[in-house]
Structure formats: C-alpha cells, structure tokens
Chain A
C-alpha cells in the first residue's frame, strides 16, 4: 500500500456533544483509511457515531454543542480540520460530497430541484455561467434517471426514491473524489433501495469516486463494499476487507451482528438478537464498550481500553481474546 494510494485517512478522531450539561462521547479515537476508488463500509447500530464521523469529515457537525476534541482528518495529506472555513467551502460539494439518510427532508422544499443541483455546479465550476450550470444540472437529472424537463419541479412533486436520486445528482454533480453516503437507502422501500444502490455503484465506478458508505445493513455491505469497519459506541471494533469480515468475523459484536440476520435456509422460529442495549454514551465503560453485552467478557475486558490486534494481512480486531489467542500461538 503506497502513500499516494490513500485518499482519506482519519487518525484518532474524537467527537463530543454537550447535551443538558452532560458530555456525550459520540466518537472515541477512530482510525480509518480509505483508498482511491474503493468503498469502505462503516457498519454499526444507531447512535454508534457513524453520522458524526461523516459530518466531521465535511465539518458540518451541528454548531451548537458539537466539538471535535482530537484527531486528524487527512485528505491527500491535507488536514481538513485545520483548514479555514472558506477553504473548506471550496472542498465541500466539489472534492467531498454527501448523500443524506432521509431524502424526504434533505431537499429545500421551496427551491426547484434543478436549481438545487445547479447551485452546487455554479459554486464550483471554474468557467461558465448560470446557463451552463443549468444545462449540466439537467444532464445530471438524466444521468440519475429523471427527465431533464423536471428541472423546474419542486421536491414535493417527487416521490421518496426520486428525491434520493436528486440528492445523488447533487452529490455527484461535481464528480467528487470522495462520496460520503450516510445510510442512503434506509428511508427507502426495498425495491427502490436496490435501484438506488445500483445507481450509486454505477456512478461511483464511472466517476472513480471513493465512497464511505454508512449503513447498518449487512446486505448492503456485501453488495457494495470493498472494506468494512464495524463501529460500536464510537469505537472501531473490527476492520478488514469484506472477505475477512464476512468469512472470519472475529469480534464478538461482529459475530453477534451476523447472528442477528435471519437465515433463509434454515427453518428458524426466533431471531437471535444481541442481548442488552448499547452503552450510555455519556457514561461509557472504562474498558471494552461491548463488555456489558459480551458473552465472553472477563475482568480484564472491563478494566482498560483494549488495544487493536492486527493480522499481517490487515484484519484488525479490538478484542482481548484475539490478543490472548495470538500470544498463545507464540
């Protein structure tokens, strides 16, 4: 892995929110690495800090109470967290763009959808005028499968799936190097989900865009991702290629996630959920955050923060059992 191959590198990122006088530890020392043209899946439950990571990359965390307390976000070696706001505005929408979870609320209800696409084009085009931006916006509509003449319609005249297509058109209008897709299909029904995923994949290949795909759907991960990071309570607990994660899930949480997917081949009566609830983010356990729910948890798990163990081929797992089994091999 050469340095130039890496598009985005996140080092030791921590994000905190202040809410009712309590500190919510949303992201706790996350390291991620995304290579050019690849797709990294970020998998975890609601509240695990996935969206906070995406928003930190674009620096669009809510301005009241949210704070990036430590870490670096390097895009081609440049730390985004130290850029001036004006420089960041040039990167947003052009180099990095984002697809949001809920298409029903992601579009401005009082602006024509076409104008919303043209706005991002006009902001970032090096030459050309408003008419060029409008022409390009109509092209983008056609590319995502919406007739160009619907440029002049408003969001309320579109269905959910079509709105998400518009959001995708906005995100890809300037051919960004990095696409942050924050649960792009969660709010859509299953048939539309498949269409939208196919569309994102096609366009991603066409524009050679790297993607950080946030999801809690293992099926989506299997379809789209190259690498997978499993996040639990703001910590990456397991990281590896799709094959490593799917064939050899190592962390008890990852194993539990796969266990929770109903099997189609066997005649099962019950689902197998992971017992318990995610920890309170204002009061995280001192040791492994998963230890209160983990069937293998020991005293050592609860005491200290677990250090990651990495296999020679890059499969990372943050679990004391892996470390011990490795020691046992020596």
Chain B
C-alpha cells in the first residue's frame, strides 16, 4: 500500500511537468506583446526592446521553455507578476488557504445534504419523497450561484443583519459563499447517490442482510450505502478538484481574494507568469485530489485495496 502511494506520488512528476510544458506553449502562442503589457501603450520602442532583451523574450521557444522549467522546478523560483511585481509564490501561499477553506465548506455542505437526499430518494423510489428530492436536485443544478449569492446577501446580511456580506475575516465570512456555492454539488451528489443506491439495494447481499433480521435502517446505511460509495467518492473528488480553480465567481461576489479570482484577473490582464504558475498549481492540486480519491476507494472497498497491493 505504501509502495502504491509512493508510486502514485512519483507519477505526479511527469503529470505536472506535462502540464507546465502545455501551459507554457499555449501562452507562447497567445497574441500580445508582453513588453507592451508590462510597460503600457505609452512606452517608446527603445524601452520595449530593452525590456524584451532583459526578460529574454527574443530567445527561441525551446530556450525560453527550458529556462521556465529550470526556474520553476529546479530553482523553485516561481517568478513575479508582470502587473503588480509581487512574488507569485507569496501571493499563492496567501490566497490558496482561502480557496481551500471555501472549497472544503462547499464540499462539506454538499455531502451532508446531498447524500442523505439521494438515500431518501432511493429508498422511496417513485414515491413523493423521491420526486421531492429529485425536484430539489433539479433546482440545485438550475439555480445560478451568483443569483443565489445575491439573494442570500439580501436576506442574511441586509434584512437580518446576521452575517457579513463580503470580505475576509473569521469563518463567518465563508458561510454565505458556501451556501451559495453548494447547490450544484448537492444536486450532483443526490443524483449519484440515488442511482448507485438503487443498483445496490437490489443486490442479493442486501436480501441476505434483511434475511438475517438486520433492521431496515442498518441495512441501508451499513450494507447498502457502504457499497454505493465508490461512484459517490468519485463525484466528491472531481467536484472538489474543480472547486479549487472554479470558485472565482463566488470569490468575486463576496470579495474573497482567493486563487480563482487571482488567476482570472491574471488572464484578463495577460499576466502570463501568474497564469502559468496558477495553472500548474491547480494541476498539482487536482492530481493530489485524485490520489486522495483512489486512497479512499481502497479504504472503502477491500477488492480495490487488494488490487493496489498486487500491482504495487
């Protein structure tokens, strides 16, 4: 099992390197002159040429790529923003925890609400409880988070004056963004839980459990849900990975300086070093998420654990 984890961690090296090469190449072909972006439209030709030479922008593609990879992965120098001239490493270290906190809060809400909804729907298949849960799930995917965010702000901040409308500070600043952002996750988890529970509930071993005199509640939770977890975990993992880079709408509305808004701002400003490093960090986080998912699989299902141990 340990060998499997080490192997998976080693596999992350080519994945991240590949992401770096891809992102760098895409940025290389992007239109726009970096010197003009940095100095602004008013700079003279001589100033711009001077900057191009000092940044090495006139060098061939391969040399620039090599220099980028060396700086990033060997010297661990992530560079500075072209626009603000702040260290990218510092900015990410400052912003990542906020995005993580928001993503974790959203995921927790999705799991705590979505999975029970799916279980209720599956155990009451085709009855009103099922229809209600699935209607809620449909509502969940359909509600735009920015709209819900504004309604929540009006209700909880302006009318009831309970929670801060925006900004960062204590945990209370994350409650409204998490509520606004969790509907999609709830819907996805409710639907997935329902369908995989329906598969499992018809299995023979569920009948075996019933024939042993196990109470219905225990049959559902201990025997059925545990077997239905694998696809549910997959959804949780991918949703979480996506949230790390995809919370920028919420970050913008609620004024949270997180990773999502950082990268989107950088794209808008053609702040290429920030875009590249940001994308690589997201790729790394996502592959860590997937490793986490695979390890949880092994914890849940002994057959998968046995496979891992065999492959090593």
Partners in one complex: yes
The residues of A with any CB-CB pair to B shorter than 8 Å are 55, 58, 60, 62, 64, 85-86, 89-94, 97-98, 100, 102, 105-111, 119-120, 123-124, 154, 156-157, 167, 170
Task: List chain B residues, Cβ under 8 A from A85.
Answer: 216
- Can you name 22 A-B residue pairings with CB atoms under 8 Å? A60-B211, A85-B216, A89-B215, A93-B212, A102-B204, A105-B204, A106-B204, A106-B207, A106-B208, A108-B208, A108-B209, A108-B223, A108-B227, A109-B205, A109-B227, A110-B227, A110-B302, A111-B226, A119-B212, A123-B214, A154-B302, A156-B303
Task: List chain A residues, Cβ under 8 A from B300.
Answer: 110
Please give the distance in Å from A123's CB to the nearest CB on chain B.
5
Q: How many residues of B contact A (CB 8 A)?
A: 24
Cα A315 to Cα B208 with chains together (Å): 35
Please give the distance in Å from B255's CB to the nearest CB on chain A.
45
Q: Is B72 an interface residue (CB 8 A)?
A: no
- Residue in B126, B208, B210, B226 whose CB lies within 8 Å of A167: B208
Cα A109 to Cα B303 with chains together (Å): 8
- Residue in A102, A111, A156, A170 whose CB lies within 8 Å of B306: A156
The residues of B with any CB-CB pair to A shorter than 8 Å are 125-126, 202-205, 207-216, 223, 226-227, 300-303, 306
A94:B204 contact, CB within 8 angstroms: no
A119:B214 contact, CB within 8 angstroms: yes
Task: List chain B residues, Cβ under 8 A from A58.
Answer: 210-211
The 7 closest A-B pairs by CB, nearest first: A92-B213, A93-B213, A93-B212, A105-B204, A120-B212, A154-B302, A108-B205
The answer to whether A92 and B212 touch (CB under 8 A), given A62-B202, A64-B125, A154-B302, is: yes
Task: List chain B residues, Cβ under 8 A from A167.
Answer: 208
The answer to whether A105 and B203 touch (CB under 8 A), given A110-B226, A156-B302, A170-B208, is: yes
Task: List chain A residues, Cβ under 8 A from B306.
Answer: 154, 156-157
Task: List chain A residues, Cβ under 8 A from B208.
Answer: 98, 100, 106-108, 167, 170
Cα A108 to Cα B224 with chains together (Å): 9
Please give the distance in Å from A75's CB to the nearest CB on chain B.
14
Cα A109 to Cα B304 with chains together (Å): 11
B302:A89 contact, CB within 8 angstroms: no
Given A89-B213, A100-B208, A170-B212; 14 other pairs, CB 8 A cutoff:
A60-B207, A62-B202, A92-B210, A92-B213, A93-B214, A97-B211, A108-B223, A109-B227, A109-B302, A110-B300, A110-B303, A154-B303, A156-B303, A157-B306
B302:A94 contact, CB within 8 angstroms: no
Instruction: Identify which of B213, B214, B216, B302 gathers the most chain A CB atoms within 10 Å of its CB.
Output: B213
Cα A102 to Cα B207 with chains together (Å): 12
Cα A107 to Cα B300 with chains together (Å): 16
